[in-house]
Amino acid sequence: MQFHRRDALKILGGATLATLADSAFAKAKPLRVLILGGTGFIGPHFVDALIAGGHKITLFNRGKRDPEAREGIEQLLGDRDGQIDALKGHDWDVVIDNSGYKPTQVRHTTELLEGHIGQYIFISSIAVYNDFAQAGIDEDHELATLKDPTNETVTGETYGGLKALCEKIVESVYRERGTIIRPTYIAGPGDHTDRFTYWPWRVSKGGEMLAPGTPNDPFQYIDVRDLADFIRVCVEKNVGGKYNLCGPQGAVTMGSLLEESKRVTKANTTFVWASSEFLTAQEIIGEKAKGNLMPIWQPPVGKEAGLLLVSPARARKKGLKFRSLETTIRDTLDWQKGRPEDKQVLKAGLTIEKERELLEKIESK
């Protein structure tokens, strides 16, 4: 599973709550929420959403990436790899485990916090699934397994299996008080992986642009603020169970993503569509690909055919709502423009030079 095993290892901006009806958050009592993590990309959005609900937040992390100082936020310092004493002697209503990648880490926190919290929310990934050979995978699909379950080295190949083992620990300790969240590719302001950002950013530059596959190929993501809003729903309504967090199946295609980006940016971009066979031969995708050159997009064939068509039906029934594609594109680009100069060269996607080389090869055929 090329995408998740490798890319999911790289999973700030203010969150808005406009997409959920006010009634979804009505009259929730303030709760004490512990976030294991709370910095990086998604953590600050969780903080924003929960603060908007009036909840009292405690962050536990290593203190290497200090979040924005906010009144009323308690910070405890430690390390998931054996230094969690700072969590002792406290009680919370809910814990959001945003930094558990190894079973040992999760076992230590679940056991230490048992009896001191009510609900344990674990942020997992769709990478836990064994395959994506069919569209519409739900939360009961077969999970990935490891050849050596005792090996906790996190790599592209072990990531999904390790997350699956972490899930099982949460379920075994907290049972119906456990909540498993499985996001797909996460997009929006603060996404330092640049995977979603690459597409609207490149469209904004104009000219001929190489586009992968066909305009009808599926493209699926979750806006980080929609993820954060759903986490707030889970906290306030004590939602248990397992949930895929991804956009509606088939709602966005590669074509609609690029055309909407063109409309939003008012660029003069024209799209040159390259077949998966061509991209494979040029080592842009496939086993010989060097880097994340066609981020998120995946040829809708074989064992990965359903990768970008995962079902979010269960989460939608519990209150998952979605911002528009336009909103995600516009806000992501606004955030990107404000990044430091050294962040303006994106980590994902083709360089302009490589793209030009590929376009010339297509045109010479």
For residue 19, the model assigns a pLDDT of 40
- The pLDDT of residue 16 is 37
In this structure, the chain runs to a length of 365
Report the pLDDT averaged over residues 133-149: 96
Give the mean pLDDT of the chain.
91
User: What is the pLDDT, as a whole number, of residue 329?
Assistant: 98
pLDDT digits (tens, 9 = 90+) for 254-301: 999 999 999 999 999 999 999 999 999 999 999 899 889 999 999 999
Tell me which of 8-12, 78-82, 269-273 is least confident. 8-12
Least confident of 78-82, 181-185, 220-224, 351-355: 78-82
Q: What pLDDT, on the 0 to 100 scale, is given for residue 69?
A: 55
Q: Note whether 70 and 51 are within 8 A (CB).
A: yes
d(CA 169, CA 187): 28
pLDDT tens digits, one per residue of 184-219: 999 999 999 999 999 999 999 999 999 999 999 999
Which residue would you say has higher pLDDT here, 217 or 68? 217
What's the pLDDT at 359?
A: 97
- Give φ, ψ of 228 to 5 degrees: -65, -40
d(CA 189, CA 41): 8
pLDDT at res. 63: 74
- Give yes or no for a contact between 213 and 273, defined as CB atoms under 8 angstroms apart: yes
Report the distance separating Cα 127 and Cα 7, nearest Å.
10
Residue 28: predicted pLDDT: 72
CATH of domain 2-363: 3.40.50.720
Residue 34 to residue 41: CA distance in whole angstroms: 17
What is the reported pLDDT for 15?
35
Q: Taking residues 128-139, report their average pLDDT.
A: 96
Q: Please, which residues have CB within 8 angstroms of residue 139's CB and are 6 or more apart in sequence?
A: 180, 182, 241, 242, 243, 244, 314
Candidates 231, 178, 186; CA nearest to 53 is: 231
Residue 23 pLDDT > 80: no
Alpha-carbon distance of 310 to 193, in angstroms, equals 21
Evaluate if residue 241 carries a pLDDT over 60.
yes
Q: What is the pLDDT of residue 65?
A: 59
Per-residue pLDDT, 82: 84
User: What CA–CA distance (Å, rounded) separates 333 from 350?
Assistant: 18
Q: Contact, 97 vs 73, CB < 8 A? A: no
Mean pLDDT of 148-175: 95
Please state, in angstroms and rounded to a whole number, the distance separating the CA atoms of residues 351 and 197.
14
Q: How large is the average pLDDT for residues 312-338?
A: 98
* The two three-digit tokens of residue 138, written as one number: 């739900």
Indicate if the pLDDT at residue 17 is higher than 80.
Answer: no
pLDDT score, position 182: 98
Residue with tokens 């060097």: 290
Q: What is the CA radius of gyration of the chain?
A: 20
The 3-state secondary structure of the chain reads CHHHHHHHHHCCCCCCCCCCCHHHHCCCCCCEEEEECCCCCHHHHHHHHHHHCCCEEEEEECCCCCCCCCCCCEEEECECCCECHHHCCCCCCEEEECCCCCHHHHHHHHHHHCCCCCEEEEECCHHHECCCCCCCCCCCCCECCCCCCCCCCCCCCCHHHHHHHHHHHHHHHHHHHEEEEEECCEECCCCCCCCCCHHHHHHHCCCEEEEECCCCCECCCEEHHHHHHHHHHHHHHCCCEEEEECCCCCCCEHHHHHHHHHHHHCCCCEEEEECHHHHHHCCCCCCCCCCCCCCCCCCCCHHHCCCCCCCCHHHHHHCCCCCCHHHHHHHHHHHHHCCCHHHCCCCCCCCHHHHHHHHHHHHCC
- How much of the chain, in percent, has pLDDT values that exceed 90? 82
Those residues with Cβ within 8 angstroms of residue 26's Cβ, 6 or more apart along the chain or in another chain: none
Q: Which tokens hold the place of 250?
A: 């088939």
The pLDDT of residue 2 is 39
> Which pLDDT belongs to residue 21?
41
Residue 352, judged by CB atoms within 10 A of its CB (0-12, 13-18, 19+), counts as exposed
Residue 6, pLDDT > 90, answer no
